[in-house]
Amino acid sequence: MAERWGLPIVAWPRRLRPNYWDGIALPIVIGAIILAGWASQQMTMPYQVGQALPISLDPRALPGYGARTVLRMVAALVASLIFSLGYAAIAAKSKRAEKLLIPILDILQSVPILGFLSITVTGFIALFPGSLLGYECAAIFAIFTSQAWNMTFSLYQSFIGVPMDLREAARMYHLTPWQSFWRLEVPYAMPQLTWNMMMSVSGGWFFVVAAEAISVAGHDVKLPGIGSYIAVAIEQRNLAAVFYAILAMLVLILIYDQLLFRPLLAWSQKFKVEAIGGDEVEPPWFLVMLQKARLFALAEGAIDRLRMALSRARRALPPMPRMAPSSGRAMGAHGRWIDYLWNAALLALALYAAWQVVAFVRGEVTIHEFLHVLFLGFVTLIRVVVLIALAAIVWVPIGVWIGLRPNLAHRVQPIVQFLAAFPANLFFPVAVFLIVRFQLSVEIWVSPLMILGTQWYILFNVIGGTMALPTDYQYVAGNFGVTRWLWWRRLILPAIFPAFVTGAVTASGGSWNASIVSEVVRWGNTTLIATGIGAYIAQQTEAGDFPRLTLGVAVLCIYVLVLNRLLWRRLYLLAEERLRLD
Amino acid sequence: MADDGFLIAAERVSKTYQAPDHAGRLVLDHIDFALKEGEIVAILGKSGSGKSTFLRVLAGLTPASEGKIVYRGHPVTQPVRGIAMVFQTFALFPWLTVLGNVELGLEALGVPRAERRERALKAIDVIGLDGFESAYPKELSGGMRQRVGFARALVVNPDILLLDEPFSALDVLTAETLRGDLQDLWIDRRVPTKGIILVSHNIEEAVEMADRIIVFGSDPGCIRADIAVTLPRPRDWASASFRQIVDQVYGLLTTTPQGTIGRRARGDAGADPAVGIGYRLPNASIQQLTGLIEALCLPPYSGRADLPHIAESTQISDEDMFVLVEAMQVLGFASAAGGDIEATAAGRAFADADILHRKQLFAEHLVKSVPLVAHIRKVLDERPGHQAPEGRFVAELEDHLSEEEAQRVLETVINWGRYAELFAYDYDRGTLSLENP
C-alpha cells in the first residue's frame, strides 16, 4: 500500500489549496452536519403511545419543524434510492424475476399507500417499542412509497436500454459485472433517474404533510414537522398559522431545489449519451461551489480511494450476474421446463393471494356494500376525468402560448416545477374556509382540490412539447396560411399530443391519490365530506376498519388500473406510434 | 506461443439463433479460419452475411453453437485478455473523459493508478490525441472519437486487434487519415499487436490494409473465398494490380456461387426459381435503384460498367451497391459478372421510359420475379374485400427468416409494391389492400 500513499494527492497540490468558494462551502457543510445531528437525535426520543407531543403554533418554531420534515424527506429519498437500485438491478438481470417484479411495481404505482398508512404504523411501532422511531419510520415509509416506484421504473427502463455497443465494450475490456454496474449501467441511468427523483420528491412533499399527523386506534400522533403544524393550525382554526406554514414550505422547497436538484440536474447532463450542445444550461451556483471549492476536491480523492478499495474487496465475494439481454441465448429444454414451473408457481401465488383478500373482506362486507363502494369509485372516476378535461382546456392554450415564447418559457418552467412540488394539501384549509364561508356545494367544490397539485404536470409538459416543435413547422404553417382552428388541429395539437398524454397520466395518477385526502376536509370542527371512494377510504382509516379499508383500496386500485389500461396506455401507444416528431 | 503459428483459430464454427417458437436460424455455417502472426485479415461480406457475428464469436462476446475458437491453445468462451476490439459506433462511455475511457480497461484489470495513468497517456500520445486528454467524447469529432476507441484498445497491449467496421461511420477523408495512421503504427511496429482482423464492407479499404481477404457468402454465412493480397505497401489505389483485386472481390460479392442471384428456398432444392417466398429481398431504395439504372444506361457507361467505377462516380457506398446490384438482377434489369454490370433490354427500356411507364415496367417485373409479391397479389385478389393484415405475411415469412428480417423484407415489399401501384398499405390499421386512394 505504501506506493498508494505516495501519490501526489497527499502532497497538497495546488488544486487542493483553499479558495473563496471554500468560504461559502465550509459554513454550509458544518451547518448541515449540526442540523442533521440535532434532528436525528430528536427522532429517537423515547415515547409511549398516548403521550402528547406538543406542537407550538409559534412561527419561530417553524425552522425546527422544517428541519425535521426535511430530514424525513432525505431519509425517504435515500431509502428509495437504495431500494430502486436493488430492485431494478434484479429485475433487469433475471428474466424470471422480471416477470414477477415488474407487474408488482406497476400495481404498487397505482396503490394509494396513504390508505395503508395506519396499518404500516402498527408494524413499525412494534419494531421500536417505547421510542418515537417507529412513528418516524412509518412516516418515512409513507414518503418512500410515494417516491420509490417511479424511480425504480426509471432505473429499470434505463438498465435494459443500455446500448449494446457499450455493453460489449464493457465486457471486451473485462469490467466485472460489479464494475460495469457502477461504471456503465448506473451512469447511463443517471439523467433519467435525476429527473424522476425530482418528480418523486415533488410528490413526496404532499405525503410528508399527510403522513406526519398519524392516527392509530383512536390516538392522534403528531410528529413534529410542518405537516403536524398545519394539522394543529386546522384544529385551532388559525388561518395565520396556515399561512406561516405555507411560507415555510415555500422556503424549504426552494432550498431543496437550489441545493439538491438544480445542481443534480446540471451535473447529470454529462451522463447523457447523445448530448448535443446548445441546450446547455447555466451551471447553478451550488454546483459551481461543489466543483470549485477545494474542500470537495479532497473529499473526491477520498471517495475515489474508497471506491478502489471497495472494488478490491468485492473481488473476494461471489460474482454478480451480468445484465445480458441476449435475445439469441440458447436455452435448452431444461431451462424451458423451469420457466413453465416458475410461471405456474407465480400463477398459484396470485390466485392464493386473491383468495385471501376475498376471504378477508367477505366476512365483513355484504355484496350490497361492495356494489356501493363500486359506485363510490365511479363517482371519483367522474371527478378525475372531468377535472383532467377542465385542466386541459385551461392549461393547453396557456401552455402553448408560453411554449411559443422560448424566453418566457425558460423563466416560467422553474416556477411551474416549483408549483408542482408544492404540497397542495397545505391549501385545503383555505378552500374549506371559503366553501363554508360562501356556502358552496361540497360535492363540486371539493373536487378542484384533487387536481390542485397535479394540474401543473399538464402545463409543464405542454410547454415542453410546444418548445420541442421545430420552428420549420411553424414557418410552413405561416407560409401556407394555416391559421386559427386549422392551425390547432393540424399542427399544434398533434405536435404536443405525446407530451400532453405524459402530463395527463401523471396528473390523473396524482389525482386518484389526492382523492383520499381531498374528499374529506376539515376546518376546526367543521368536516366536509364529498361522495367518493377517497372519502370512504379516509373514513375507514379513521375507524380502523381494516376489511373495509382493504375493500376501498382494492376497488380504487382496480379503477386506476382499468383507467390506465383502457385510456392512458392506448393514448400513449397512439402518441408513440404516430405522432412522434422524429 | 500458439500452436501451428496461429494466433487465433476458428474450428468448424457454426452459430444458430434460437427463435422462441420455431426452429433456429443458421447464421454461420461451419467456418474454419486462422489468423497467423503478423497478419492483417479483412473479412468482407454483404450486410447480413454474419461477418459481425463471426467477429463477436472470435471475441468471446457471443458463444458459438458448434465448433470452437482457440486462442493460444485455450478455448475462447468469453472475452479474454490479449484480444481487444474497436467498435463501429466507437462505444465510448460519454461520462468519462478521453483519459478516463482509455484508462477504463486498465482499471478493470486492476493496474495501479500511477502505471495506469502513464500507459494511458502514452497510448493517447501514440494515437495522436495529445491535448485532448480531458475532453469528453461528445466534444470530439467522429474521427477523434474513433482515435479514442483505438487508444482504448491499444493501451491494454493486445495480441489481436478486432476491428468491427471502424471507419464506416467516418467521412471518407477522416477514414483515410485514420487508416493511414493505423498502418504506420503497424508497419513501424510501434504497437505490440501481432494480428489484426478487420470486418468491413468497403472493398478498397480491405484491399489497402489486408494481407488476406476472406469473402463471406450469405444465408448462412460461410467462407466463399480466401484471397491473398501481396501488393507492396503503401498501396496505390489507382494501380492496375490494386484495381484488379478490387474487381475480383466485387465480382465475388455481386454474384452467388451458382452464378445466379438469390438462394434456393430451403426445402424445395432443385425447384426452378432461385428466389422463393422466403427470399431475403434486398432493401434497395427505389430512388437509388432508378438513379443507378439511369446512370448505367447513359454515357460514359452506355449499358455496361465496371462496378467499382460506377460506385465511385455515383457516390454509392459498396454496401448500398451490393443491395442495388442484387435488386437489379432479381428484377431482371441488369446482370453482373466479374465485377462488371450490364443492363438488360428491360433495364434499358426502364431507363428510357417516363415515370408512368417505368411504374408499369417495374410492376410487371416485380410480379414476375418476386414470388412474395405474386403471393400477396393472389391473396388480395382472392379475399373478399381485397385486403389482408400484414401480420399474416410476416408470419409466413418467419417460417424462413428471423423476426426482424421478416419485418424488413415485408417493409421492402410494401415499399416496392406501393411504387409499382400493385397494392396499397394502411399504416394505421396495418393492412394491405388493392384499393388505391
Q: Same domain, yes or no, for A560 and A479?
A: yes
Name the amino acid, one letter, at B236.
D
> Are A187 and B109 in contact (CB < 8 Å)?
no
Based on the fold, state whether residues A442 and A581 are members of the same structural domain.
yes
Indicate whether B246 and B292 sit together in one domain.
no
**Do A261 and A367 lie in a common domain?**
no
| Position B271 pLDDT exceeds 50 | no
Q: Which residue did the predictor score with more confidence, B385 or B151?
A: B151
At residue A326, the pLDDT reads 42
Query: Given an 8 Å threshold on Cβ–Cβ distance, is B78 in contact with A3?
Result: no
Q: What integer pLDDT is reported at residue A363 of this predicted model? A: 74
Distances from the Cα of A134 to the Cα of A127, A221, A546, angstroms: 7, 11, 20
What's the grid cell of residue A312?
Answer: 478490491
Nearest-5° Cα angle at A414, A411 to A415:
85
Closest CA to A391 of A434, A435, A453: A453
Whether residue A352 is found in the same domain as residue A444? yes
Sign of CA dihedral A195, A499, A565, A98: negative
**Chain B residues lying within 8 Å of A270, measured CB to CB:** 94-95, 136
Question: What residues of chain A lie within 8 A of the CB of B402, using their CB?
Answer: none
**pLDDT (0 to 100) of residue A541:** 78
CA distance A334 to chain B (A): 14
> B79–A190: do the CB atoms touch at under 8 Å?
no
Same structural domain for residues B96 and B209?
Answer: yes
B316 lies in a domain? Answer: yes
Q: In what order do the strands lie in the sheet with B212-217?
A: B83-86, B160-164, B195-200, B39-44, B212-217, B222-228
Whether residue A175 and residue B113 make contact (CB cut-off 8 A), yes or no, is: no
Same domain, A226 and A363: no
Going by C-alpha positions, the residue among B180, B186, B157 that lies closest to residue B81 is B157
Strands B334-337, B195-200: parallel, antiparallel or unpaired by DSSP? unpaired
Cβ atoms A314, A178 nearer than 8 A: yes
Residue from the list A3, A168, A326 with its beta carbon closest to the beta carbon of B112: A3
User: Are residues B39 and B140 both part of a single domain?
Assistant: yes
pLDDT of amino acid B293:
93
- Domain carrying residue A417: 339-582
Please give the Cα distance from B437 to B424 (Å, whole number): 8
Interchain contact A183–B (C-beta under 8 A)? yes
In this predicted structure, what is the pLDDT of residue A67? Answer: 87
**pLDDT for the residue numbered A331:** 47
- Measured CA angle at A326 (ends B22, A85), to 5 deg: 135
| B118-171 per-position pLDDT tens digit | 999 999 998 888 999 999 998 899 899 999 999 999 999 999 999 999 998 888
d(CA B133, CA B193): 23
Q: Can you tell me the distance from the alpha carbon of A68 to that of A62, in angstroms, rounded to the nearest whole number? A: 10
Does residue B126 contact residue B151 with C-beta atoms inside 8 Å?
A: yes
Is pLDDT above 50 for B273? no
- Mutation target for A interface from B95, B162, B163: give the one with most A CBs within 10 A: B95
pLDDT value at position A28?
67
For B330-370, the pLDDT digits (tens) are 898 998 887 889 999 999 999 999 989 999 999 999 988 88
Residue B313 lies in a domain: yes
Residues B34, B145: one domain? yes
Q: Say what the pLDDT of residue B263 is.
A: 37
CATH number at residue A347: 1.10.3720.10
Q: Which has the higher per-residue pLDDT, B80 or A319?
A: B80
Cβ contact B87–A176 (<8 Å): no
- Residues B29, B300: Cα–Cα separation, whole Å: 42
Question: Do B182 and B110 form a contact (C-beta atoms < 8 A)?
Answer: no
Which of A172, A190, A276 lies at the smallest CB-CB distance from B85?
A172
Q: Is A326 in CB contact (< 8 Å) with chain B?
A: yes
Which of A242, A261, A281 lies at the terminal end of a domain, its last residue?
Answer: A281
In a domain, B261, yes or no: no
Say whether both B250 and B200 belong to one domain: yes
C-alpha cell of B286? Answer: 427505389
DSSP A354-369: HHHHHHHHHTT--HHH
CA A114 to chain centre: 14
Cβ distance of B95 and A190 shorter than 8 Å: yes
pLDDT tens digits for range B21-30: 556 778 888 9
Q: Which residues of A touch B112 (CB under 8 A)?
A: 3-4
Residues in B closer than 8 angstroms to A326, CB to CB, are 62
The answer on A252 and A344 residing in a single domain is no
pLDDT of residue B416: 92
Residue of A nearest to B108 (CA): A175
Q: Is residue B274 part of a domain?
A: no
Query: Which of A7, A179, A330 faces B114 most closely, judged by CB atoms?
Result: A7
Residue in A with minimal Cα distance to B103: A173
**Which of B18, B92, B109 is nearest residue A330 as measured by Cβ atoms?**
B18
The segments of chain A whose pLDDT lies below 70 read 1-52, 110, 112-119, 215-219, 273-305, 307-308, 310-335, 579-582
Q: How many domains does chain A have?
A: 2
Give the C-alpha distances (Å, rounded to integers) separating B92 from A163, A170, A291.
11, 10, 24
Report yes or no for ipTM above 0.85. Answer: no
Same-domain pairing of B74 and B141: yes
* Any B CB within 8 A of A174 CB: yes
B101 CB neighbours in chain A (<8 A) are none
Cα separation, A196 vs A264, whole angstroms: 12
Q: Which pLDDT belongs to residue A7?
A: 36
Q: B90 to chain A: which residues are within 8 Å by CB?
A: 165
The helices-and-strands tally (H runs, E runs) of chain A is: 27, 4
Shortest distance between the Cα of B359 and any Cα of chain A, in A, equals: 29
Mean pLDDT taken over chain B:
86
The pLDDT assigned to B122 comes to 92
Residues in chain B with CB shorter than 8 Å from the CB of A173 are: 79, 84, 104-105, 108, 152, 156
Q: Are the C-beta atoms of residues B7 and B160 closer than 8 Å to each other? A: yes
Minimal-distance CA residue of chain B relative to A1:
B112
Q: Which residues of B touch A308 (CB under 8 A)?
A: 113
How far is it, in rounded angstroms, from Cα A466 to Cα A573? Answer: 20
In the prediction, which pLDDT does B242 show? 92
* Interchain CB distance below 8 Å, B91 and A7: no
Main-chain phi, psi angles of B235, to 5 degrees: -95, 140
Give the Cα separation of B145 and B139 in Å (integer).
Answer: 9
CA dihedral A273, A275, A276, A277 (to 10 degrees): -140
Task: Judge whether B1 is closer than 8 Å to chain A, CB to CB.
Answer: no
Q: Is B105 on the interface with A (CB under 8 A)?
A: yes
CB contact under 8 A, B91 and A165: yes
pLDDT of residue A185: 92
What pLDDT is attached to residue A297? 61
A9 within domain boundaries: no
Domain boundary among A281, A312, A347: A281
Interface size, chain A vs chain B, as Cβ–Cβ contacts under 8 Å: 83
Q: What is the DSSP string of A294-338?
A: HHHHHHHHHHHHHHHHHHHHHTTSPPPPP----TT----HHHHHH
| B362 assigned to some structural domain | no
Q: Which of A165, A174, A276 sits opposite B89 (nearest CB)?
A: A165
Kindly state whether residues A375 and A269 are assigned to the same domain.
Answer: no
Cα separation, A244 vs A562, in Å, equals 41
Q: Does A14 touch chain B (CB under 8 A)?
A: no
- Nearest CB among B79, B90, B138 relative to A171 is that of B79
User: Does the distance separating the beta carbons of B156 and A172 come in below 8 Å?
Assistant: no
What is the strand order of the sheet B66-71 is part of? B25-36, B6-17, B66-71, B74-75
Round to whole Å and give the CA distance between A199 and A403. Answer: 21
B136 → closest Cβ in A3, A270, A578: A270
Domain that holds residue B145: 3-254
Q: Touching check for A189 and chain B: CB below 8 Å?
A: no
Q: How much is the pLDDT for A378?
A: 93
Examine the domain organization and report whether B247 and B124 are in the same domain.
Answer: yes
DSSP code of residue A131? B
Domain CATH number, residue B345? 1.10.10.10
Average pLDDT over residues B185-208: 91
**A572 plus A485 within the same structural domain:** yes
Give the 3-state DSSP-derived string for B2-13, with helices as H, strands as E and coil as C: CHHHEEEEEEEE
Could you say which DSSP state residue A182 is in?
Answer: I
> Does A187 sit within 8 Å of B95, measured CB to CB?
yes
For residue B48 the three cell numbers come to: 447480413
Residue B268 lies in a domain: no
Asked if the structure places residue A377 within a domain, the reply is yes
Q: Is B20 on the interface with A (CB under 8 A)?
A: no
Say whether both B397 and B428 belong to one domain: yes
Question: What per-residue confidence (pLDDT) applies to A127?
Answer: 80
Domain identity same for B311 and B385: no
The string of DSSP letters for A487-532 reads: HIIIIIHHHHHHHHHHHHHHHHHHHHHHHHHHSEEEETTEEEE-SS
- Judge: A173–B65 Cβ closer than 8 Å, yes or no: no
A307 touches B at CB < 8 Å:
no
Neighbours of A259 (CB within 10 A): 18
Chain A residues in contact with B79 (beta carbon < 8 A): 171-174
Query: Is pLDDT at B56 greater than 90 in this prediction?
Result: yes
User: Same domain for B80 and B217?
Assistant: yes
Burial class, A461, CB count within 10 angstroms (exposed 0-12 / middle 13-18 / buried 19+):
buried
Percentage of chain B beyond pLDDT 70 is: 93
Phi and psi at residue B199, in whole multiples of 5°?
-95, 135
Residue B270 maps to a domain: no
Position B264 in a domain: no
Statement to judge: residues B387 and B342 lie in one domain: no
Give yes or no for A218 touching B (CB within 8 A): no
Quote the cell numbers at residue A40: 436525528
Of the residues B352, B384, B402, the one at which a domain ends: B352
Q: Is the peptide bond before A397 cis (omega within 30 degrees of 0)?
A: no
- Same domain for B305 and B244, yes or no, is no
- Distance, C-alpha A85 to centroid of its chain: 15
| Confidence check: pLDDT of B261 > 60 | no
Of B24, B59, B65, nearest to A172 by CB-CB distance is B59
Q: Work out how many domains chain B is built from and give that number.
A: 3
Instruction: Centre a 10 Å sphere on the Cβ of residue B263 and count the other Cβ atoms it contains.
Output: 19
Of A281, A298, A325, the residue at which a domain comes to its end is A281
Contact assessment for residue B324 and residue B289, using Cβ atoms and an 8 Å cutoff:
yes
Instruction: Select from B236, B254, B272 the last residue of a domain.
Output: B254
pLDDT tens across B202-240, in order?
A: 899 999 999 999 999 887 888 988 999 999 988 888 899
